[in-house]
Amino acid sequence: MDPPVNLRDRTAIIGAGSSAFTRTAERSNILLAADAFQAALADAGLRREDVDGVVNVLGRASGIDLDELVAGLGIESRFSTQTWTHSRLMSTAIQHACLAVAAGIADVVAVFVVAGYLKPEGTANRQHEAFRGRGGPHGEAPHYGILTTMGGAALATRRYRELYGLTDEQQGMLSVTLRRHASLNPAATMRKPITLDDYRASPFLVDPLRLYDVGPNTEGACCILVTRAGRAADAPGKPVYVSGFQGMAMGPSEFVFSRPGLGALHQPAGPFEAERDQIAYRMAGVTPADIDGLYTFDAFTTLILFALERFGFCAAGEAGAFVAEGGIALGGRLPVNTNGGIHSEAHVSGANCVVEMVRQLRGECGERQIADARILQWGDCFGDALILRN
Amino acid sequence: MSVAPLLPTITDENRPFWDAARAGRFRMQRCSHCATLRPSPSDICPHCLSEEFAWVDLSGRGAVSSWCVYHRAFHPAFKERVPYTILQVDLDEGVRFVAPLAGGGVRPLKLGMRVRVVFEEAAEDVVLPVFALEEDVV
């Protein structure tokens, strides 16, 4: 399949904004959305009337539905859509916005993630899928005590540990590194640095996942404004171009909290080698070696290992050593989640990481700035990717 | 005061599985066209898209391919059950099934350890297939 190179750098993120991120529920979901929207508009130098498209991620019960969102913020939208109620569709939502803008059916699309996980209806009701006769999408089976999304992540992590000898130190350096990054980020909810000893002393939630392997539930919203590259070039701020992307992988070879070949849940086990020339890289005209920083879904830290291998930054089984050597730290070979990620900044489905990518590419990140950041990637263990450049 | 256990959601689709468990049998749907086994019931075979299937009894024997241990009770029903172990098992018939270690608790485990299905009563008329280590089953 030929990659859509004609879409390379055709669209841009013209503005990005966030609400405050908090560890208690302080603002209603529509107010969180409004905070993020106004911050993004101010960042872009746009007015609400310039926005003519809306893509919403999550919806109820963890967030807000498209109807409430558009009505509440008084947006006149002519391209309007909402992804299913799962975090992992965040970059897919941004891709929809890019495609709509590139096709000319909208001019400025606002992508919203509103995540009110600490409201009574937030996380509790999200478990409704687990109670289907066929169980939940992360392997949940409540009658067996396989509760929350953590069980599936724990099974994948245990298998990886047994196959490749991942050590406690290597696993612990994931959360130590993310906390170090968050300590440099005034917006992060979990800013206190931790040591490997702290990590080893933290209790198991679902062995092999300890408390510090798991990001807390938080409250927050982000808004990303996408427009044509030409329009972005005329904006006051420095534009950030969308160079490449690829969709989320699903199907028989996939389990959401794994990478192909690992053999977690019902996914086949077998040798793994990263697919070469993935669509996002070919679309952007780059290789993994050109990427200055990686942003990825890290609600469970070990998912970072699977993402590093999926995109070919590390060979199968070698991501743990790469992390322990400082490979994912600021100043390392491939800094990962310099904002602290979902793990330590906030769980806004990773939209908070996209906001960080924009800030990094503009050189606005102060102490945690990646020196001379030019090309950054969002990429998940579940296969989706966005490649942004300045 | 004990909290009522979380029971399976029994539907017309999965009732044959739970009825069999009550009778001490472990079964799955098998596609009548391509013979693919389905670890959870469905109206259609995801391998060949055939709608024809039969319920077949399985040996219940297999090998551990991963596990995890719940130390936190994420529902009050499990408050007195932690820690308990969940096993991912490659059944000898070539399909996986994920279920708890019989009796709960934590055991030293390794990939490839042999297990077999045994049955635990969860409530009146509700029986759960779970896994016991072969070394524990005489």
Structural domains of chain A, count: 1
Containing domain of residue A16, as a range? 11-389
Residues A145, B84: C-beta atoms closer than 8 Å: yes
- For residue B101, give the DSSP letter: B
Give the tens place of pLDDT for each residue, A292-341. 999 999 999 999 999 999 999 999 999 999 999 999 999 999 999 999 99
Cα(A128)–Cα(A24) distance, rounded to whole angstroms?
23
Q: Is residue A108 within 8 Å of residue A46, measured between CB atoms?
A: yes
Residues A155, B68: C-beta atoms closer than 8 Å: yes
Q: What is the CATH number of the domain that holds A288?
A: 3.40.47.10
Lowest mean pLDDT among A144-148, A176-180, A374-378: A144-148
What pLDDT shows up at residue A60? 84
The reply to whether ipTM tops 0.90 is yes
**Does B69 reach chain A within 8 Å, measured CB to CB?**
yes
pLDDT of A191 > 70? The answer is: yes
Please list every residue in chain B whose beta carbon sits closer than 8 Å to the beta carbon of residue A263: 65-66
Give the tens place of pLDDT for each residue, A237-270. 789 999 999 999 999 999 999 999 999 999 999 9
What pLDDT shows up at residue A123? 64
pLDDT of A125 > 60? The answer is: no
- Answer whether residue A383 is part of any domain: yes
- Minimal Cα–Cα distance from B137 to chain A, Å? 21
- Answer whether residue A6 is part of any domain: no
- Answer whether residue A351 is part of any domain: yes
Please list every residue in chain A whose beta carbon sits closer than 8 Å to the beta carbon of residue B70: 145, 147, 151, 205-206
> A66-73 and A29-44 are packed helices; what angle lies between their axes, rounded to 10 degrees?
60
**Does A145 reach chain B within 8 Å, measured CB to CB?**
yes
What pLDDT shows up at residue A126? 59
Give percent of chain A with pLDDT exceeding 70.
98
How many Cβ pairs within 8 Å bridge chains A and B?
Answer: 100
- Answer whether residue A1 is part of any domain: no
Residues A158, B68: C-beta atoms closer than 8 Å: yes
Please, which pLDDT band fits residue A127 given cuts at 50, 70 and 90? Answer: low
Residues B70, A206: C-beta atoms closer than 8 Å: yes
Residues B14, A207: C-beta atoms closer than 8 Å: no
Of A383, A303, A373, A308, the closest CA to residue A343 belongs to A303
- Answer whether residue A2 is part of any domain: no
Mean pLDDT by 10 residues, chain B (138 residues): 85 95 98 97 96 98 98 94 97 97 96 98 95 90
Give the tens place of pLDDT for each residue, A100-112. 999 999 999 999 9
> CA-CA distances (angstroms) from residue A54 to A17, A231, A356?
15, 18, 21
Q: Which helix (H) or strand (E) holds A94?
A: helix A90-103
Give the tens place of pLDDT for each residue, A45-99. 999 999 999 999 988 888 999 999 999 999 999 999 999 878 889 999 999 999 9
pLDDT of A37 > 90? The answer is: yes
Neighbours of A115 (CB within 10 A): 30
Please, which pLDDT band fits residue A120 given cuts at 50, 70 and 90? Answer: confident
CB burial of residue A243 (10 Å; 0-12, 13-18, 19+): buried
- Answer whether residue A282 is part of any domain: yes
Of A160, A144, A126, A186, the closest CA to residue A300 belongs to A160
CA A141 to chain centre: 26
- Answer whether residue A5 is part of any domain: no
Give the tens place of pLDDT for each residue, A199-220. 999 999 999 999 999 999 999 9
Residues B6, A143: C-beta atoms closer than 8 Å: yes
